[in-house]
Amino acid sequence: MGELITERIRRNARELKLYGLADTADELVDRAEGGTLGYREFLDLVLESEVGVLEGRRYASRLKLSGLPHHKTMDEFDASFQPELDPKRLAELRSLRFIQNKVSSLILGPPGVGKTHLAVGLAMEALRAGYLVRYTTFDDVVRELRQADQLGTLRNKLAHYQRPHVLIVDEVGYMRLEHADANRFFQLINRRYTRSSMIVTSNKRVSEWAELFGDEVQAVAILDRLLHDAEVLTINGPSWRLRGRGDLLATKPKAAENSEISPTDTPRDPRRGPQKGAHEAD
β-strand partners of 150: none
Query: What 3-state DSSP class applies to 219?
Result: helix
212 in Cβ contact with 178 (< 8 Å): no
- Biggest alpha carbon–alpha carbon distance for the chain: 92
Burial (CB count <10 Å: 0-12, 13-18, 19+), residue 140: middle
pTM to 2 decimal places: 0.80
Phi/psi of residue 135, each to 5°?
A: -115, 140
Give me the tens of pLDDT residue by residue for the chain, a chain 282 residues long. 578 888 898 899 899 888 888 888 888 888 888 877 788 888 898 889 899 999 999 999 999 999 999 999 999 999 888 888 888 999 999 999 999 999 999 999 999 999 999 999 999 999 999 999 999 999 999 999 999 999 999 999 999 999 999 999 999 998 889 999 999 999 999 999 999 999 999 999 988 998 899 888 989 999 999 999 999 999 988 887 766 665 555 544 444 444 333 333 433 443 444 444 434 445
Number of Cβ within 10 Å of residue 169's Cβ equals 26
Say how far apart CA 256 and CA 132 lie, in whole Å.
49
